[in-house]
Structures are given as structure tokens and as C-alpha cells.
Structure 1
């Protein structure tokens, strides 16, 4: 009887701590998702409390919406390039600051000044995306005063009378935004990978060097397999970030909620917000939100399964 009473007391104690957080989570996280899913089947305008059920009409319209389909394509491009470039650069820099220096009496170590480099690389993470938009707005200015144009004009690669309009050129704008995201993210994942590398015994690197492995072989054969769990998690988070991009696109590009020029930098989030707040098509925007949710969940599952491999112990 005493064991039963103790078990019930333990369950009650745990339940007492879980009830309030679970209630808050259901109220402020799960319930809005359910509401959004329900509104996606209506013609709700967002202003009126009344609306009518229209079934799958919003989803059918999405498949014919050229702006939304173009935005989906842009998100898919970012989904490929943002995680790939960010992870590769972060892995390279993390390897250099932890094990890329010359081995000596102290064993394997990073390049000289590695502690300073970590601070420099991490610095973009302390800046908000709004501040980044202002900074890179100055970098991409379409006149001689822009940092990038001024540099290219100084080298004689660009005519001062016809500077490059980075954020107004249809073929360049999306790649300019991509560079901002990568520049912002590399420092965080460098620190993440550095923490993982520091848990790897230095003996492993020293054994690889004694066997005649070069830096490239050590990185591919030793570092990458031992950091695979961190790389897998990073790919999921960066993929989710690539499916968003609302802040940068809406603040750095032309048009209502961004997306210019002529929808060449459009992403699904900007199309959603424009329909919800500007066009008053809130039910239609909710359908876009459901599509984004489903795609993000599919992305996460596929990434985790595609990158799954046997865990390496050390």
C-alpha cells in the first residue's frame, strides 16, 4: 500500500508541474494552428467576424497563383543553398580554429589567433535581422556611395555612371539576400561545431596526422563523421530559416512587404502577409500558412531520415 501511495504521490506531483505549461502550450501554440487550419477552408476577410465555408477553393487557387508558385520556387532555391553554404563554411572555419594549425609540442591546435577569430565570426549573431537589413542596405546601395559599388568602381570593374543596382536587378536580388543569410548564420554554427569538436579527443587527430593524413583528409575522414549529429541538426534549423526569410525580404526589397522587383525576391511568407494584411484575403492567407507548415514538417522529416547514419562512438 505504501508503494502505491508513493507512486500516486509522484504522479500527482509531476502532473501538478505539467498542467499549467501544457495548458499554456495548447492555448497559445496548438490552438492557433487549429484555427488557421479551419480558416483556410473559408472566405474570411480578416475584418468581419462572419465568413463562409468554401471547402478546398483556397488550396485550388494556390495551385494557379503564379506569384505564390514563384515564391515557392524561391524558397526551394534558398532551401538548397542556405544550409549547404552555411554548413560548409562553418565546418571549414570551425576546423581551422580548432585543429587547422600546425601540430607541435602541445599537440593539435587551431590556427594562431583562433580565439579572436571565433569572436569575429560570431559577431553577426548579436545583430538583429532589422539591423542587418540596414547594414546591407548600405552595402547594396545602387550608387557610388554603396560599399560594394564603391569597391568595384575603385577597382575599375564598374562604370561610375552605371553602378550595379543589386536589389533592383531581377537576376541578382535573391542571391544578394542569400549572402546576407549565410553571413549572419556562419558564426553561430561555427561556435556550435567548435563545441562539438572540442569534445573529440585530440589523440584522434594526432593519430591521423601520424598516419600521414593531410588537413583535407582529416576533415573528411575524421571531423565530419564525428560531427554528423550536429550537422544533421543544423541542416534542419537552416532549412526552416530558408522557408521563412520574411524579415530580410520585407525590409530590403521593394514593394508592399517586399518581394520586388516584379516578384523576383518573393517568398511564401511575404505573399502570405500581403494577402492577409493588404488584400484582405485572410482565409486564402491561412491556406498558404497551412502549406508552409506542411512543407516545413516534410522538410524536417526528410532531412532527418536522409542524413541518418550509424552513430560513431569515441
Structure 2
């Protein structure tokens, strides 16, 4: 009976596993192999060069600039996005005033708040980047128009043209278009926590601050950990590439102030026709992503709480 069960399971997994190996694992293996070659990507001819591409990468200032910006995204975006989303989700679900028959409740109109916060997820990242490109326009953009409206017309920064501001402008766009997803995600997790636990804590004199750190966060930790990894992947992945590619001059400017690793891979492969070297940078991006996920899983490991 057991032998037949495993055969049945293997039969169902064979086709999905084969597709996964063909379209996910095999391209990774090919990329790693091509990183040891000299290949333009425009012809089938290539030659094996060993570690030459990796040596070139370690001495490439553009790569280190892009790596630094990507690491800055990786260090700040998950912290800011997850932290703010947790705050909003807690206020929506638990931060309301006491009502009849319920010691703990969300704010009034919580469903509307969730829809408003989630709205950026409905828009394509390309549309969001284009919209904010107009917002940041130094001449007739909404942001500088707002500054002029409140009497700060003399201070009109060139948001995307200033090397000291451009990267932070891009980072804000990534924060704006992703925080709503995590608000809805954490709200779903919080709504599954029984109100009896909160009511018991409030009867014991616990404050909202205490209930968040002693009840909500521990019971929601698995979701937070998964969200942290997902946000890190977004900060290193196509969303960061799309925003920088569309919004910035160059792209990646001014003066390489907004280059990130995905953009460096793209420009190296398609603008410079150095596909093999681009795969080398891609391997470095893969290592950074896997290292980040491993660190989050290691540091976030704790005993599972059930209720």
C-alpha cells in the first residue's frame, strides 16, 4: 500500500518537476557556465576564459556602485516597508476604539483603508514609474507645485537630476507601490488571531504597544519573515530594475547614482554586447539574494507559536 502511494505521488510530481528543472534550474546552470566564457550573446561562438570575468567584475567600479545601491535597497526597503505595513495593519485591525460587545476592534472603515492601500498593486510597475516621473518633474511636477503652494517655491529640487536625491526618490516609489500588499497580507494574518487573546491581555492591563510586541508580532512572525524575504527579492529584482530604467536618466544616472545590479546586468548584456560578463554579474546577484534569504531565515528562526 505504501509503495503504491509513493508511486502515485511521484506520478503527479514528475511533470511539474520536469518543467521546473527545464525552465528554472537549467537556465541557472547555463548562466553559471556562460560566466566562465567570452560570449557576446549575438553569435553561437564563445570561448572558455575561466575566472577572467570574475576578476574583471571585482575591479569594475560600475559593478561596485551598482552593488552598493542594491545593498542599500536591501538594507532599508524591507525594514521601512515591513515596519510601516505592520503599523498600518495593526491600527486597521486592532487599533480601533472600544465598541459595544468588543474590547478589541479595528478602526471604522477598515475595509476601505485596505482597498486604498492595496490600490498601487493594481497598477503596473511601469505605470507607477511613469506617474512618479511626472510627479518628480522639476518644472511642472506635482511635488514642486505642492512646495510652491505652501510657500516653499524658492526650494525646488531637481529630484531625479540630483545625485544626492535620485536614489532616495527611486526608493520611495518602490516603498509606495509595495507597502499596500503587505498591509493586506498582515491584516489577513491578524484577523485570524482570536480576539480572546487580546481581551485577556487588556484585562491584565497591557497597552496597545505591549499587545503588539507580545501577542501580534510573535503570532505573526512566520508571515513577517516570509514578507521580509519577499521584499528583499523585490528590492533586488525586476521591480527595482523597472523603476530605475523608466524614471532615471541614462538610465542609472545622474553619474551612476541610481544604478542597481539588475540594471547593470541589462546594460552589460544588451548595450555593451557582453552577455558572458552580464551573466557573471547575474551570478553575483544570485549569491546576494540567496545570502540575504539565508540570513533572514537564520536570524528569524524561533519556536513556532500556535493558538
- The interval holding the TM-score normalised by the smaller chain is over 0.9
Q: Which residue number corresponds to residue 129 of structure 1?
A: 125
Give the C-alpha shift of residue 270 in structure 1: 0.6
Helix, strand or coil for the counterpart of 1:149?
helix
Q: How far is 1:101 from its partner?
A: 0.6
1:272 to 241, 265, 271: 265
Cα root mean square deviation, aligned: 1.3
Deviations 1:99-123 (A, max 9, x none): 1011232311111111111111111
Matched, 1:252 2:229: no
| Superposition pairs of residues 1-314 of structure 1, within 5 angstroms | 6-107=1-102, 108-143=104-139, 145-159=140-154, 163-244=156-237, 245-255=240-250, 258-314=251-307
Query: Do the aligned partners of residues 212 and 14 (structure 1) sit closer, same or farther apart at CA in structure 2, a change above 3 Å counting?
Result: closer
Question: CA 1:212–1:289 in 2, change beyond 3 Å: closer, same or farther?
Answer: same
Secondary structure at the aligned position of 2:205 is classed as coil
Helix, strand or coil: the match of 1:263? coil
In the TM superposition, residue 12 of structure 1 has moved relative to its aligned partner by 3.7
TM-score computed with the length of structure 1 as normaliser: 0.93
Greater shift after overlay, 148-157 or 217-226?
217-226
- Classify the secondary structure of the residue corresponding to 2:210: helix
2: distance between equivalents of 1:218 and 1:84? 21
Q: Distance in 2 between matches of 1:205 and 1:276?
A: 54
CA distance in 1, matches of 2:278, 2:289: 16
When the two structures are superposed, what TM-score results if normalisation uses the length of structure 2? 0.95
- Unaligned runs of at least 5 residues, structure 1: 1-5
